[in-house]
Amino acid sequence: MKHATGFLAIVNDAKTRVREIDIPAYLEMQQAGTPHILIDTREQSEWAAGHIPGAIHLSKGIIERDIEAQVPDTGATLVLYCGGGYRSALAADNLQKMGYTNCISMDGGWRGWTERSLPVEK
């Protein structure tokens, strides 16, 4: 997908402050049993079409509004994903501004997950 220059600029800026994890490293994290909360930041229609097993849904449009009720522990490890890793980086950056100290954006996101034929839920 070709993204607008302004959008890419704010994503690249956010990525200077946000930790990222690729899918193989996330799978290692999962297999090791590292405690974390997986958050799908895509739109409701994207979530309904399929999502990574075990994820909760807090779309980019509402995550800042609803995160404190869903995840009150600001020290919890949060792994966020979207379609490819852009919206999740923006969301992770905002959550850090809200005091969440362990936010990670999944580089590759849903596209990378499905390209590897990994399990999905509907």
Which of 82, 89, 90, 104 is flagged as catalytic?
82
Check if 103 is active-site: no
Domain assignment of residue 5, yes or no: no
Q: How far is CA 82 from CA 1, 33, 48, 68, in A?
A: 13, 22, 13, 20
pLDDT of residue 2: 87
Number of domains in the chain: 1
Q: How far is CA 111 from the centre of its chain?
A: 12
Strand order, beta sheet including 103-106: 19-21, 103-106, 78-81, 37-40, 56-57
- Domain span at residue 68 reads 19-52+62-115
Domain assignment of residue 10, yes or no: no
Is the pTM above the cut of 0.75?
Answer: yes
Chunk the chain into consecutive blocks of 10 residues (it has 122) and report each block's average pLDDT, rounded to whole numbers: 92 97 98 98 97 97 97 98 97 98 98 98 95
Name the H helices within the chain.
5-15, 23-31, 44-49, 63-70, 87-97, 109-115
CATH value at residue 44: 3.40.250.10
User: Rounded CA gap, 121 and 76, in Å?
Assistant: 24
